[in-house]
Structure 1
Amino acid sequence: MNDHSNSISITIELLEKIKQQYCLKWYGTHGVIHWSRVYENGIKLAEQDGVNSNVVQFFSIFHDSRRRNESTDNNHGNRGAQLALEMRAGITLSDEDFSLLIIACRLHTSARTHHDITVQACFDSDRLDLGRVGTMPDAEFLCTPMAKMPDIIEWGYNRSLIHRLPDQPFGLSMYKDRVIRLDGI
């Protein structure tokens, strides 16, 4: 088990600030449903020694937060990192852990891997959700030993095929109702 707390770090207020500036469909391919699965994938991967679950939690909501389209958007990771920098006051991470968040956001689509296991878990938490775009995750392109396990790949892939917001997205039991009400659905 890791040395970092698995407590919930994301607040409804932070999610709502991100939503206010998000320019794609909230429930689209790279929107809140994807983020919630990345969050859950990350919590699962944080069971490995050395993975900071709090960094992975924040990665889930910032990594695609500034995408401009649902296809190729090569600079979206840098823009997501920039949004995290702009919202630094609402992110409860030490400076060292915040640096890992920025690295993970910036590199999640361009780097094959990274020397830090927390950054690796961030990459893997996103890559395990590739089924939503018709791609089965490939162990060759995953970083952590846990993510490369066939049962974890299958678990992530099967979950990525379900297009629905979990009952407790981001560990926040009341957020699902607030998101639906905000969208008028």
Structure 2
Amino acid sequence: MTSKSLMTFPLILPTMPITSQLINQIKQHYGLDWYGTHGVVHWSHVYENGMRLAAQDGVNRKVVALFSVFHDSRRLNEGVDDGHGPRGAGLAGDLRDLYSITDQEFDLLQIACRLHTVADTHRDITVQACFDADRLDLGRVGNIPDPRYLCTPLAKEREILDWAYNKSLIRKFPCDPFGLSDIF
């Protein structure tokens, strides 16, 4: 096959599991200000960061996408909330009938949600990308992401750090948050 013939086939990305129905169900379970520090705008930034980081070999886009909406979905407050990761993982389990992923992908999602605030890193590149996608949005709380606390090579690149930090300072939705045009 020549490169010209490859161009005739469209690039097909895996179907992303986030739907408006899923977002609406998560919203029903969310107990804080929907637009607060750890709310849906943050999740949309984590999603956008994660989709950039998913360009790395071995990163599962579906898991990173789902992590973005579940990791802080069960916070009880905007401050220190030690159990929010496991509670978010629990909600991901409760709502699993609303999205389609394999058992292996679900296990990675559970790990990423449970450990995102307590582990420095993880051996799996997908879990690492989840951690980094969240950490790259620290500008929203007045912190500059430090490459020493990031896991993946791409997240540590100056271009990515600058892009994510500048985006985190602007508290608004990206165009088509979560890849959905009908959400807001």
Q: TM-score, normalised on structure 2?
A: 0.92
Aligned pairs (5 A) from 1:7-156: 7-156=15-164
Choose from 161, 165, 172 the match for 1:164: 172
Question: Are the counterparts in 2 of residues 129 and 157 from structure 1 also a CA contact under 8 Å?
Answer: yes
Give the structure 2 partner of residue 181 of structure 1: none
Q: What amino acid is the match of 2:113?
A: C
The whole-number CA distance in structure 2 between the counterparts of 1:5 and 1:92 is 15
Question: Are the counterparts in 2 of residues 131 and 137 from structure 1 also a CA contact under 8 Å?
Answer: yes
Which ranges in structure 2 are unaligned for 5 or more consecutive residues? Answer: 1-11
Moved more, 6-15 or 121-130: 6-15
The whole-number CA distance in structure 2 between the counterparts of 1:67 and 1:25 is 11
Which ranges in structure 1 are unaligned for 5 or more consecutive residues? Answer: 177-185
Structure 1 stretches of at least 4 aligned residues deviating more than 6 Å after TM superposition = none
Moved more, 165-174 or 122-131: 165-174
SS at match of 1:44: helix
Count matched residues: 173
Do the aligned partners of residues 99 and 5 (structure 1) sit closer, same or farther apart at CA in structure 2, a change above 3 Å counting? Answer: farther
CA-CA distance at 1:89 after TM superposition:
1.1
Q: What amino acid is the match of 1:7?
A: T
The whole-number CA distance in structure 2 between the counterparts of 1:141 and 1:123 is 10
The whole-number CA distance in structure 1 between the counterparts of 2:137 and 2:106 is 23
SS at match of 1:19: helix
Give the structure 1 partner of residue 5 of structure 2: none
CA-CA distance at 1:6 after TM superposition:
4.5
Identity %: 60
Provide, for residues 121-148 of structure 1, a one-character-per-residue CA deviation record: whole Å limited to 9, x for no partner. 0000000000000000000000000001
Q: TM-score, normalised on structure 1?
A: 0.91
CA-CA distance at 1:11 after TM superposition:
0.6
Over the aligned positions, Cα root-mean-square deviation in angstroms equals 1.1
Question: Are the counterparts in 2 of residues 6 and 43 from structure 1 also a CA contact under 8 Å?
Answer: no
Larger radius of gyration: 2
Question: Are the counterparts in 2 of residues 5 and 53 from structure 1 also a CA contact under 8 Å?
Answer: no
